[in-house]
Structure 1
């Protein structure tokens, strides 16, 4: 006779949260334990969440690269997803329409599996021109609404302080020497700002 093993009442298996993105997720330039994934997992566990955050960040990845690998990344048997992509599209000056189509495809794949998702936005610098900035910045809220995703409007905004009066000098102190990637303290600011959204998402699966 087969034995059926079940968890005691009120106890569930550990939640698996997929952090899917580029070097900002991967932890580029940071010592082990100080990147986005380990810092987020530590904060969630400190808050009483039984969660494992899976690092699916690939340094240098574009939204097209993300679209090409989202299917097998979801084969990890995950419960929820954070998507952080678009930064490298910006660095290469890629067409915002292509970025929108690629991230849209990623969200559709996640939605098809019935998983809650948090989309982290990016913001284009002004030197690309007003039309480019409007198209790029606007793709994230539009995609989140169209796909029923939660939206964290700007991954890097927590480094800037007050959005009405951004402190550029303070922001630079939270970046690595390359001026692109956050240092450990910068990551901690991002995690702190994103935490309420992540916890709200986890409440759907815990």
Structure 2
């Protein structure tokens, strides 16, 4: 099933926004499982080390939707894997795990977080909410779910460092909703004293050559730009 990444720049054209809305309409009733599967990249664990070496390393876990999962690409082309390669090249001693799941909402993320946290996590990058915004979900629920995920991580692993990735939604949802949605991330980052990636798709959303033919999911080149955006914040956390 094809599921969009749910976040685009507010400067998208009306025709692109319409296509985005239509492309998302078939995925509103995503089934949740007690032990839901991760994306292909998560199943592969996206570790850039052998199992033996990884045991002695700390873990960076990317938790998000199809943007994190690298929809339409080889797992090695998704931005979490690119971050992992950079970490290895710098000898920083971290294993990277991609726990992205296409179609994920904040409610879905809240449901599966305990399962994902069965493995130790030292750095947790949270990228969720775009699907909520695209579906016009009550922003109070989105905020509460994101906060619940943050709280669960901190309860399970008090020393874990959490990085929050900011998202945006297209303006066809209404100016007030768009502004309030964007503000959630800064507010949560301030409230929880978290490093914030202002907008994960900066320089990628709405740029045709950086997205797949569907006009929604980033290409390999787009993911390289996303990786650079993430690194600007993440490098100071590692």
1:128 is displaced (CA, Å) by 0.9
1:153 is displaced (CA, Å) by 0.9
1:102 is displaced (CA, Å) by 0.6
Paired with 1:76 and 1:38, the residues of 2 have a C-alpha distance of: 18
2:230 counterpart of 1:185: no
1:131-167 CA distances to partner (integer Å, 9 max, x unpaired)?
Answer: 101110000010111112110011111326xxxxxxx
1:36-79 CA distances to partner (integer Å, 9 max, x unpaired)?
Answer: 22111112212222221111111101000001111221121111
Paired with 1:47 and 1:154, the residues of 2 have a C-alpha distance of: 25
Unmatched runs of 5 consecutive residues or more in structure 1: 1-11, 161-167
1:126 to 149, 158, 171: 171
Paired with 2:61 and 2:203, the residues of 1 have a C-alpha distance of: 22
Q: 2:58 aligns to what?
A: 15
1:50 to 69, 72, 93: 93
Q: 2:154 aligns to what?
A: 111
2:71 to 20, 28, 37: 28
Q: 2:3 aligns to what?
A: none
Paired with 1:32 and 1:13, the residues of 2 have a C-alpha distance of: 24
1:32 is displaced (CA, Å) by 3.4
SS at match of 1:157: coil
For 1:141-160, list aligned pairs within 5 A: 141-159=186-204
Moved over 6 A (4+): none
Larger RCO of the pair (alpha carbons < 8 Å, separation 6+)? 2
Q: How many residues align?
A: 182
Contact 2:204 2:225 in 1 (8 A): yes
Unmatched runs of 5 consecutive residues or more in structure 2: 1-54
Contact 1:108 1:147 in 2 (8 A): no
| CA RMSD, Structure 1 to Structure 2 (Å) | 1.5
Contact 1:111 1:147 in 2 (8 A): no
2:116 to 73, 80, 97: 73
1:5-47 CA distances to partner (integer Å, 9 max, x unpaired)?
Answer: xxxxxxx931211111111111110023111221111122122
SS at match of 2:224: helix
Paired with 1:178 and 1:140, the residues of 2 have a C-alpha distance of: 27
Query: With structure 2 as the length reference, what TM-score do the two structures score?
Result: 0.73
1:101 is displaced (CA, Å) by 0.9
Q: 1:95 aligns to what?
A: 138
Q: Which has the larger radius of gyration?
A: 1
Q: 1:174 aligns to what?
A: 210
